[in-house]
Amino acid sequence: MNKNLFTYKKSGVNINAADKFVNFISNISSKKRGNKKNKNIGGFGSVSDLPKDIKNPKIVACTDGVGTKIEIANLLNKFDTIGIDLVAMSVNDLIVQGAKPLIFLDYISINKINLKKMKSIISGIIKGCNISECSLVGGETAEMPDTYEKGKFDIAGFAVGVANKKKILNKKKIKKDDLILAVPSSGLHSNGFSLVRYLLKKRKINIKKNPFLKNELIKPTKIYVKEILSIVNKNLMNGCANITGGGLADNISRVIPNNLCANIDLTKIKPQKIFNWLKNNKISEKEMLKTFNCGVGFCLIINPKNINKINKYFSKEYKPYIIGKITKGKKKVKLNGKINWI
C-alpha cells in the first residue's frame, strides 16, 4: 500500500475500531434477552413491535443528554454509570405522560474511539435500559478528532414509549385539593454540574481526594419507571413532574392548569448531604432551588385518598412524602418558607 495516500485513519477516524464497538454493542445488548445477536444494531434503522396489550396506543418520544457531568466522569476516569444517567434523563420524562419506555437509542461523539471507555459507557446505557425495561435498539458513534479535544466526548439519548390514550397524564386531571408528594432523588442526578464544577475550581477542591464528593458527584440518576408506571396502571395519580434543570418551580409549573396553583411548603423538603454541602459553600437558596432538585427527584400529584395505596410501590429510600397542595390561584407554583439546611 502506498504510504503517501490519504486515508480516513490518518485523519483521525478509525473505522475498524468503530466496527468492533458496534459488534460489542450488538452482543452485549442481546444477553438480557437470550438472543444470539441483536439484529437491529448495525443496520440503517431499527424495527420494533408495538405492545399488543395497550389499547388506543399513542407514541411518546423524548431526548436528552447528561450535560457537564461528563467532565466529572472524565476527571475520575469512571464511565460505567454515566450511561445510566443518559437513559434516566429521557425515560423519566417519558413517564410524566404515563408512557411505558419501549426503545432507546444513543449518540456518542468523541475525539478518538477508546474501546475500553466506550464499552464502559455502553454497559451503563444497557444497565439503564434493563432497569427501565426497554431495549437498546441502535444509535450512532461519531469519531470527530477536530471537534473535540483529546479525551473529550458527548452523549445524547433518545427514548420512545407508548401510552394508552385514556391513561395519558395531562393537566385536565389535576384538581383542587390534590396533594403534591416529593419522591426523593438519588442526589444531584444530572443537573447543575457547570455550577458544581465552577465551585470546585474556585475552591480548589480535588474530588479525587475527597471520598464524599467523589461518590456523590458520579452517583447515577434514579430511574423511576417501575414505580411510576405501577401507579399509572392503577389510576392512582393525576399528574407528575420530573425535577430536572430549573428545579421545583419550573418543572412543576409545566403540568399545572392555568386556574390552579401548586403550593409548596419548602420546610417539608428533605435535602441530602450533597445539597447541604453546596448550600454551605455560598450558594443562595434561590440559586439552589433554580439549579438543583434539592433532594426531590420526582413529584406526584394525587387525590388524598390514594396516598396509602401509592406508598407500597416505593422502597423505604424513595418513599414519597407530602410537600404541598393544589389550590386555586393565578400563579402556577408558589414556594413557601425555606428549606431546613443542615
* For residue 28, pLDDT beyond 80: no
Homologous superfamily of 15-166: PurM-like, N-terminal domain (3.30.1330.10)
- SS3 for 65-94, per residue? ECCCHHHHHHHHCCCCCHHHHHHHHHHHHH
Cell numbers of 13, please?
477516524
Which letter does DSSP use for residue 219 in this model?
Answer: P
* For residue 10, pLDDT beyond 60: no
pLDDT at 45: 75
Domain assignments of the chain as residue spans, ordered by start: 15-166, 171-336
Domains 15-166 and 171-336 share a fold: no
* For residue 4, pLDDT beyond 70: no
Cell numbers of 207, please?
474530588
> Span 171-336: which CATH code?
3.90.650.10
Using one digit for the tens of pLDDT, what is the confidence trace for 187-214? Answer: 999 999 999 999 999 999 999 999 999 9
pLDDT at 36: 45
Using one digit for the tens of pLDDT, what is the confidence trace for 291-336? Answer: 999 999 999 999 999 999 999 999 999 999 999 999 999 899 999 9
DSSP string, 160-197: EEEEEGGG---GGG--TT-EEEEEEPSSSTTS-HHHHH
pLDDT band at 49 (very low <50, low <70, confident <90, very high): confident
Element (H, E) at 313: none
**What is the β-pairing status of strands 57-65 and 153-164?**
antiparallel
pLDDT at 37: 47
pLDDT at 311: 93
Mean pLDDT across the stretch 231-245?
95
Question: Which pTM was predicted?
Answer: 0.89
pLDDT band at 174 (very low <50, low <70, confident <90, very high): very high
Q: From CA 335, how far away is CA 342, in angstroms rounded?
A: 20
